[in-house]
Amino acid sequence: MGLLYRVKLSYSESSAKEVPQSVVIKVPSPHEQTRHIARAFMFYGKEIGFYRDAAKDTPLDTPRCYAAHHDPESDDFVLVLEDLDGMEVISQLDGCPIDKAEIAIEALARHHAAFWESERFSEDLAWLPFGWDVPFPQAIAQGFSQAWPTCMEMFPNGVSERIKKVGEKFPTVTSEMMELADSPVTLAHGDFRLDNLFFQNEDLKVIDWQICIKTVGGYDVGYFLSQSLTIEDRRNHERDLLDKYRKTLSEIGLDYPQDRLMEDYRRSVLFCLAYPVQASAAALVNERAVQLVTEMFARVST
């Protein structure tokens, strides 16, 4: 939902100690429709808010932020971030290897723990919306309803009758799927998928915090497992990864009851059908985008 530039830097000899040789600069999209969506969902302001107020407090490593500014009136923003060139990037199309998925799930649990039912949600993080606040469910329902016919055309032979029934009913139950107020909430990444994860041995850095929200931890877990693992790997390792997430929380002193986690997880996976469906109606500008949407749809609906 924005533009990224890698900028190579040069310095006078006297100032060249311990300074970055390059940075990544993120700025708004030039397209008016994209800007409209970004403003409606607070994408730009939320990412700036995360780096300003929360990045320093999460054990989940993020790119070093050199500058973060947002104009609420125009919704213009600029982020100057650490260049992660040299870290390992794994294509979401290939699927996340299980050893990397274990690293990601443990890091995610530690991040969630840092903001678990935090009092800061009514203080310096009060700007962070719940995932079920207006206009999120309403916009998702409308977008899904508009995109569903296009999705059916894109996958004429690859949609089971069960998923067709789910898709037809989805817009009428979006609010119920998204509202998980009976469970403890945390600061969720919102877009925790393989394309946003950078690895270096056992280390992990996570980018793209535009979609961060207050919601249940099971949402990020469901999104990651349903979008970033192959179908076979998810089926074979889903239970172990969920147990690892819950065990990590428990070691920190937090109880996420198994039945509650599974309920939140299942509802979140069901909701994640919205992502490939709505993406199928977007302008898919290259073959990889088409392949990714196709794979996302297969993973979440199988």
pLDDT (0 to 100) of residue 34: 86
Domain assignment present for 123:
yes
Cα separations in angstroms, 107 against 52, 217, 228, 273? 21, 12, 16, 25
Domain assignment present for 301:
no
Identify the domain containing residue 103 by its residue range: 87-132+179-271
Cα separations in angstroms, 73 against 7, 140, 180, 228? 27, 25, 32, 36
pLDDT (0 to 100) of residue 15: 62
pLDDT (0 to 100) of residue 252: 98
Domain assignment present for 154:
no
Domain assignment present for 205:
yes
pLDDT (0 to 100) of residue 17: 67
User: pLDDT per residue over 77-107, tens digit each?
Assistant: 999 999 999 999 999 999 999 999 999 999 9
CA dihedral (292, 293, 297, 299) in degrees, to 10, reads 10
pLDDT (0 to 100) of residue 65: 98
pLDDT (0 to 100) of residue 302: 86
* DSSP-derived secondary structure for 111-136: HHHHTTT-GGGGTTTTTSPBTTSTTH
Two tokens at 135? 């206009």
Other CB atoms within a 10 A radius of the CB of residue 293 amount to: 22
Domain assignment present for 195:
yes
Percentage of the chain with pLDDT > 70? 98
Position 119 pLDDT exceeds 90: yes
42: left (phi > 0), else alpha (psi -120 to 50), else beta? left
Domain assignment present for 277:
no
Domain assignment present for 202:
yes
Position 141 pLDDT exceeds 70: yes
Confidence of residue 49 (pLDDT cuts 50, 70, 90): very high
Question: What is the sign, positive or negative, of the torsion defined by CA atoms of 58, 64, 70, 76?
Answer: negative
User: pLDDT per residue over 211-240, tens digit each?
Assistant: 999 999 999 999 999 999 999 999 999 999
Find the CATH number of the domain harbouring 213: 1.10.510.10
Domain assignment present for 44:
no
User: pLDDT per residue over 69-80, tens digit each?
Assistant: 999 999 999 999
Decide if 75 contacts 35 (C-beta within 8 A): yes
Give me the number of domains the chain comprises.
1
